[in-house]
């Protein structure tokens, strides 16, 4: 008998925006997610849906959906339903998986979400509590979705008092997933050391959620017909969480990517979501511009060169073609925005750093920029007054991080280890969509799949340097050994090359993560890199209440080529002084002092703006920066009116 191969992808049905689009033909969508083995929950290799409702009386566990049940498999998942909690579980799992897959693809590696000694999966609670909110909780390593009754006076398209589930909003799921993923990629981006840090978290999460809209084909076609191809008319395609916005009495979506560019906003707006919206608008201006240039020939052809579209409906063929361009442009924009992550410093990020990271990453992979996508994006930033520090012009070549000079290549031990690491990581990355036999065997025995590995506790801070990916049965010992050796060798490298890496004190600098990445350019070229992050902390600011719980940190992201040569050193130095200084050290020190002053001024400005500052208890005072700016406290429940 011929063997039947297990399909790589699993179809699942979702609401592509939220349940409000009941009358539209495109109210539901089928998406393809990685076809991993699932236990009821669903519980997969990285995600675990836990349907426990603590607000119900008595608190209740809803029956968990078994997406591997033959009847459900045959139907491509459960049909979308507002009233069936099992569909809610499926929707959360599907959209979370899709978001995660976008990160895997753009970053060129399998993003690890497992955490702690027991390698806990990211847990998602579709009905966690009653309330107008949803949030990512780092300590619980979980995303909590609330539910609530629609506003009685102004429920928008909802019925007054209708129950609104945040877990049925594509945008809220994708946005919260981004918080969780970003927190795994850059642990220190939840520390508000400057006004951009949390705004970056928020804006980036919105960018990913919104760009994903363009991958739902039926929805896109229907909407482009209505818009007659113009994406800058009001449309839910570029609006975030419409149902949530209306149900909470705002009379509009929660946020939108459309703005009136105003350079004053970037220097005055401080609230994280509002400031994040400036970043979203900058990125979307680049997207709109690229889209326009991609479709203008189609419109010329369709209008015999006049550019004037006839009255009535557009020809379905034209709409189909512009929809294809819109979704391709969106996917490339999304890849570009996510890919930049590996080129960000490990701490104290600014929007300007992000622009530089995007430009550098894009140049590495796609130097020709034949769509003009990178140039259009730079223009979006420029029009909003977002300039990186220390950059004299917004020309593409001055925005790129400087190519490293003087950093020695990886020494023998590391050079020997690199091919081994690359091999392990390449196997995992290429295998992620196919089911390995060991996984299947483990599954049949009713055991956990492929997670026999115990946690490799990290040297300095738990959760910081989780080894990338999960080991499989059989290669565990070898893989662990390579990760372990790699970690030691990179620490050693940092000690020996600290000046070239802008690291201050090799004894306090620790390795915060390392990843092998495999990226394919639009032209098909393969780019392989090793990315390592080092972080150091000024201990004198750590328990000093003046800093409000956010110590001064520095750090460096180092990018190695596949030959072991250092390509980029992207650093945020700190300075303790005391050593004799060469020129590089002197420059690093100047940058360090400037950052320190900026952080101090940021704390002072929030202290001034907060009338409660003089009345805080000593305990509250020492943590005030963290509580003021925490994502949870500010989250979707925060009023933007």
Find the helix or strand (DSSP H, E) in which 554 lies: strand 553-561
Provide the 10 A C-beta neighbour count for residue 618.
7
CB closer to Zn ion out of 202 and 439:
202
Answer yes or no: are the C-beta atoms of 329 and 294 closer than 8 Å.
yes
**By C-beta, is 39 or 640 nearer to Zn ion?**
640
Minimum CB–partner distance for residue 316 and Zn ion (Å): 38
Smallest distance from Zn ion to CB 163, Å? 22
**What letter would DSSP give residue 408?**
P
Strands 122-130 and 142-149: parallel
| Closest approach of Zn ion to the CB of residue 202, in Å | 5
Give the nearest distance from C-beta 186 to Zn ion in angstroms.
Answer: 15
Shortest distance, CB of residue 279 to Zn ion, whole angstroms?
13
Minimum CB distance to Zn ion smaller for 34 or for 636: 636
Q: Pick the closer one to Zn ion by CB: 51 or 202.
A: 202
Shortest distance, CB of residue 639 to Zn ion, whole angstroms? 14
CB-CB contact of 202 with 276 (8 Å): yes
Map tokens 């069936």 to a residue. Answer: 84
HSE toward the beta carbon, residue 279, CA cutoff 13 A = 30
Taking the complex as a whole, the smallest distance from the CB of residue 425 to Zn ion amounts, in Å, to: 30
Q: Give residues with Cβ within 8 angstroms of 228, minimum separation 6.
A: 309, 314
Residue written as token pair 């399998």: 110
E-strand stretches of 272-332: none
For the CB of residue 179, give the shortest distance to Zn ion in the complex, in Å.
Answer: 6
Q: Is the peptide bond before 434 cis (omega within 30 degrees of 0)?
A: no
In whole angstroms, what is the distance from residue 33 CA to residue 324 CA? 20
Nearer to Zn ion, 127 or 635 (CB): 635
Per CB under 5 A, contacts with Zn ion among 279-318 are none
Residue nearest to Zn ion (CB): 202
Q: Which is nearer to Zn ion, 29 or 277 (CB)?
A: 277
List beta partners, residue 148.
Answer: 164
Nearer to Zn ion, 104 or 183 (CB): 183
The site map against Zn ion for 480-509 (x = CB under 5 A) is ------------------------------
Name the residue nearer to Zn ion (CB basis): 208 or 592: 208
Could you tell me the smallest distance in angstroms from the CB atom of residue 84 to Zn ion? Answer: 27
3 state SS of 632: helix
DSSP-derived 3-state class of residue 335 = helix
Q: What share of the chain is helix, strand, coil (3-state, %, to 5)?
A: 45, 15, 40
What is the C-alpha to C-alpha distance for residues 500 and 586, in angstroms, rounded to an integer? 12
Please report, for the chain, how many H helices and E strands are present, in that order. 19, 15
Cβ-based nearer residue to Zn ion, 202 or 538: 202
Residue matched to tokens 């196919």:
434
Site map 185..224 versus Zn ion, x via CB under 5 A:
-----------------x----------------------
- Residue 325: both structure tokens together: 């361009």
Task: Give the interface with Zn ion as residue ranges (CB under 5 A).
Answer: 202
């Amino acid at each position: 008998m011929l063997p039947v191969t297990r399909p790589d992808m699993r179809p699942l049905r979702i609401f592509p925006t939220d349940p409000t689009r009941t009358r539209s033909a495109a109210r539901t969508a089928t998406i393809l997610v990685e076809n991993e083995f699932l236990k009821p929950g669903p519980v997969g290799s990285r995600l675990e849906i836990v349907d426990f409702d603590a607000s119900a009386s008595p608190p209740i566990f809803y029956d968990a959906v078994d997406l591997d049940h033959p009847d459900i498999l045959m139907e491509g998942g459960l049909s979308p339903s507002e009233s069936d909690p099992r569909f809610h579980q499926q929707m959360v799992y599907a959209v979370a998986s899709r978001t995660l897959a976008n990160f895997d693809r753009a970053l060129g590696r399998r993003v690890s979400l497992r955490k702690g000694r027991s390698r806990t999966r990211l847990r998602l609670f579709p009905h966690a509590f009653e309330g107008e909110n949803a949030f990512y909780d780092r300590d619980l390593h979980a995303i909590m979705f609330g539910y609530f009754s629609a506003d009685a006076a102004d429920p928008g398209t909802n019925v007054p008092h209708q129950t609104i589930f945040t877990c049925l909003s594509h945008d809220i799921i994708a946005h919260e997933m981004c918080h969780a993923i970003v927190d795994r990629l850059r642990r220190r981006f939840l520390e508000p050391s400057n006004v951009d840090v949390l705004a970056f978290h928020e804006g980036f999460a919105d960018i990913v959620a919104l760009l994903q809209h363009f991958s739902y084909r039926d929805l896109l076609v229907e909407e482009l017909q209505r818009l007659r191809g113009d994406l800058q008319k009001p449309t839910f395609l570029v609006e975030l969480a419409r149902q949530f916005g209306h149900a909470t009495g705002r009379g509009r979506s929660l946020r939108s990517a459309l703005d009136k560019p105003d350079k004053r906003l970037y220097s005055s707006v401080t609230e994280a979501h509002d400031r994040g919206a400036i970043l979203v608008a900058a990125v979307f201006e680049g997207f709109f511009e690229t889209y326009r240039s991609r479709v203008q020939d189609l419109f010329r052809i369709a209008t015999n060169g006049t550019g004037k579209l006839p009255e009535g409906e557009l020809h379905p063929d034209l709409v189909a073609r512009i929809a294809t361009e819109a979704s391709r442009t969106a996917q490339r924009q999304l890849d570009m925005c996510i890919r930049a992550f590996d080129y960000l410093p490990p701490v104290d990020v600014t929007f300007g750093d992000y622009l530089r990271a995007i430009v550098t990453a894009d140049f590495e992979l796609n130097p020709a920029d034949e769509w003009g996508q990178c140039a259009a994006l730079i223009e979006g930033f420029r029009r909003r007054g977002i300039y990186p520090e220390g950059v004299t012009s917004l020309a593409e070549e001055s925005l790129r991080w400087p190519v490293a000079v003087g950093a020695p290549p990886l020494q023998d031990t590391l050079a020997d280890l690199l091919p081994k690491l690359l091999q392990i990581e390449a196997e995992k990355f290429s295998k992620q969509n196919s089911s390995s036999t060991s996984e299947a065997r483990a599954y049949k025995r009713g055991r956990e799949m492929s997670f026999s590995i115990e946690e490799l506790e990290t040297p300095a801070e738990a959760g910081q340097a989780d080894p990338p990916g999960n080991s499989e049965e059989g290669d565990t010992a070898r893989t662990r050994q390579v990760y372990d050796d790699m970690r030691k060798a990179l620490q050693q490298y940092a000690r020996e090359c600290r000046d070239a890496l802008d690291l201050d004190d090799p004894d306090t600098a620790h390795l915060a993560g390392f990843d092998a990445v495999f990226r394919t350019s639009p032209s098909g070229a393969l780019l392989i890199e090793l990315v390592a992050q080092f972080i150091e902390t000024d201990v004198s600011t750590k328990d000093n209440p003046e800093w409000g719980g956010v110590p001064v940190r520095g750090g460096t992201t180092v990018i190695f080529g596949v030959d072991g040569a250092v390509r980029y050193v992207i650093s945020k130095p700190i300075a303790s002084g005391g050593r004799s200084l060469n020129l590089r050290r002197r420059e690093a020190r100047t940058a360090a002092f400037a950052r320190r002053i900026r952080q101090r001024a940021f704390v002072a400005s929030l202290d001034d703006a907060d009338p409660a500052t003089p009345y805080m208890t000593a305990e509250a005072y020492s943590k005030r920066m963290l509580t003021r700016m925490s994502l949870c406290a500010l989250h979707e429940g925060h009023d933007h009116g």
